[in-house]
Homo-oligomer: A and B are copies of this chain.
Amino acid sequence: MTAHLIDSLATTDALAAVFSDSFLLQSMLDFEAALARVEARLGVIPSRAADAISAAAVADGLDAAAIARAARESGTPAIALVQALVARVHAADPESARFVHWGATSQDVVDTAFILALGRAHQILAADHARLTGSLRQLSDRYAGTIMLGRTLLQAAPPVTFGLKLAGWFAALKRGWRRVHDAFGESEVLQFGGAVGTLAALGPNGVPVHRGLAEELGLKAEPSWHTHRDRFAVVITNCGLYTGGLGKIARDLSLLMQDEVGELVEKGGGSSSMPHKRNPVASAIALAAETRMPGLVAAFLTGMVQEHERAVGGWHAEWPTLSAAIQCTGAALAALADVVDDDVLTVDTDRMRANIEETHGVIFAERAMMLLVPSLGKEVASQLVTDAVQHTRATGQPFAAVLGSMPEIARVIPQAELQNIDDPEAYLGAAEALRVQMLA
């Protein structure tokens, strides 16, 4: 089991598996096995040792809880893991056990194992990102001409199209994902430096082993970056940005799902006491993730102050922080991808239209201003429009009609234009052109 109750809304099964004991243990063992193979190939250790180590490097059967507990004594799970591996190899071939972890240091194992986990997480996120943005593009095209209220500071404003709103969500996620993707790419760098980053324990073999190990693990070979953690930091900050984009979508979704707005319904979740509820559960999961992410990003940035060649604390804070952040991101992404889907999301285009009509046209006050100001000046125009808005609000009479009944206004705006002033289709500006540009 990978999902725990306390984190149930904060991960997905797939991502929980990536940061599970077994995946992390196996990643550490993969490092050790690859190191042995490369060292054997270069003649640094006997081939037989590499074989024995590779054979023993299987997470199954290791006591993860014991290793976790030992980590609290030594400050890292690597020492107990290496001991367990040594014991296993020793049981099969005592001589070979000498060459386990040859020339490496704890941080080499721990960091590289984490990088391997990040690589897997990258794939999982990528699939859900493709799913969500695919749906957004499809929905944006479908609702390209569907008019809805624009809303600024949660107040009714001139109209937009639902397609434009969806394209805005799409474009932000697309920009965000490019950054996330690049950041994961930046993190695909082997950590291998030995005790202090000089590879001194391997003598002249240091550089070749370093290069070979990177290749063996499919990672880039760059000088050890022990206490320079920007390659991890750039992953978490960009997940933070991306989740910001998801959170914005979720906020909009949940606002549009309000009964009083009624323009959208996520699939909806139930309630233990109220059978009528259609709760925005995906939005809640995404907003919960976005609530947590900034603090997780902050924690990671704080930990970047790492002393000399290995930190006291900053390094030790990374695993829980970065793993929680990636699971947060993935939980939000999967939740939204599940509901922002043409087959799942209910879009009430009538209600969208009706909500515009409910304003009786006052949202076109700006339009009236644009027509009046050139002739009347800002002050006079603003006073007249404000009067008209108030009259509409008091009486429910259409704004266009009220304007038409005001002689100072009728004098300035041609009657045809006046009658048309509250036609939302006629006040969409460049919405469609911008939408197309956003999807490009």
Contact = CB atoms under 8 A, between A and B. Distances in A.
B299 A292 contact: yes
Contacts of A429: 194, 198-203, 206
B309 A321 contact: no
Given A234-B179, A270-B79, A299-B294, A433 B207 contact: yes
B9 A24 contact: no
A389 B258 CA distance: 17
Given A150-B195, A197-B164, A241 B301 contact: yes
A7 B74 contact: no
A301 B309 contact: no
Copies of this chain, tallied across the complex: 4
Interface residues of A, number: 189
Given A284-B312, A294-B302, A68 B5 contact: yes
A55 interface: no
Given A75-B279, A153-B307, 4 more contacts: A73-B281, A152-B310, A284-B312, A291-B313
Interface in A279-330: 279-281, 283-317, 319-321, 323-324
Contacts of A153: 75, 254, 277, 279-280, 284, 307, 310-312
Contact of A157 (B196, B245, B280): B196
Contacts of A302: 290-291, 294-295, 302
A243 B299 CA distance: 14
A78 interface: yes
A300 B199 CA distance: 39
Contacts of A389: 275-276
A273 B385 contact: no
Interface stretch (A123-131, A136-144, A354-362, A404-412): A354-362
A217 interface: no
A276 to B, nearest CB: 4
A260 interface: yes
A65 B1 contact: yes
Contacts of A283: 312-313
